[in-house]
Amino acid sequence: MPRRTVFRRLAHISLNQEIRERYLMTFSARWLYHHIQHFPMLTSEALFGNQRPLELEIGCGFGEFLCALAEANPTANFLGIDISESSLLQAASQAAKLNLMNIKFIAANARQLYPLFAPDSLQAVYLHFPDPNRRRKFRKRQIFTPVLLDTVSRALRPDGYLSVMTDHSEYFHEMLELIEQDHRFEKTHAERYLSGFGAPIISRYQRLWERHGLPTLRFEVRRRL
C-alpha cells in the first residue's frame, strides 16, 4: 500500500494566516520548474535568518519526529519537506501548539528542491519510511537514488550525517547496497545495519508498521572528510 494512502481520511485542518506564514511554505511545481532562481536556498540563513545548524527531513509527513527534535534542540533549526500539504497542515499545527520558533515546513516535491541545497549547509538529513511502492510504473518516483546521494553529499557539513529507515525489507536492502557502494559516506555504526528505533517520539507510520509486526530497519552514515 502506498504510504500516502494510509491516512487519507484524516480530518482536514485549517490554519490561521499567522501560523501558516510562520511555519508552512508551499512551492508550486510549475514555478519551481520555470523559476527556481526566485526561491530561497535551503539554509538557516535564508529560512531562519541565523547561522544555526540545520537538520532536514525528506518526507516528514505529520511532523511528529521533526517537532520532537526541534523541541529538544532549540539551538538548531529544522526543516521538513513533504509533497502532501494536508499532512503539513497537521505538522504546522503541532509546531504551533509547541510554540516552536526553530522549525519550518515546505510543501513540494523534494526532487525539485535539489538545486536549492547549498554546499555544507546541513547538519543532518533524515529519510524515514519513504514510500516503497514496488510497482514498476512507480519505481521512478522512489527517492533514494544516486541523484539524492549526490545532493546529500554536497549539502552535508563535513561532520553531517544521513539517517535512513524503513520497515520494507526488500527496499531497505536495495538502499543499503547502494550506500555501501558510495565511498563518499561511511557508517556511524559497526553493524552492517540496525534494527529498531527507540526515539522518544515516533511517527504514525512507524507505529502502524510495528503494530503489524514489521521491524524498523535502519542505517546511519556520515559524509567522509
Domains of the chain as residue ranges with CATH? 3-223 (3.40.50.150)
Q: Annotated binding residue at 182?
A: no
Q: Annotated binding residue at 82?
A: yes
Compute the mean pLDDT over every residue in the chain, rounded to the nearest whole number: 89
Do residues 103 and 67 touch, judged by C-beta distance below 8 A?
Answer: yes
Quickly state the pLDDT bin for 9 (edges 50, 70, 90): very low
Place of cell 547549498: 118
Q: Annotated binding residue at 220?
A: no
pTM: 0.89
Return phi, psi of residue 222, to 5°. -115, 155
Q: Annotated binding residue at 150?
A: no
Average pLDDT over residues 123-149: 85
Catalytic residue flag (residue 131): yes
* Given 131, 150, 159, 182, the catalytic residue: 131
Question: What pLDDT sits at residue 6?
Answer: 45
CA atoms within 13 A on the CB side of 52: 18
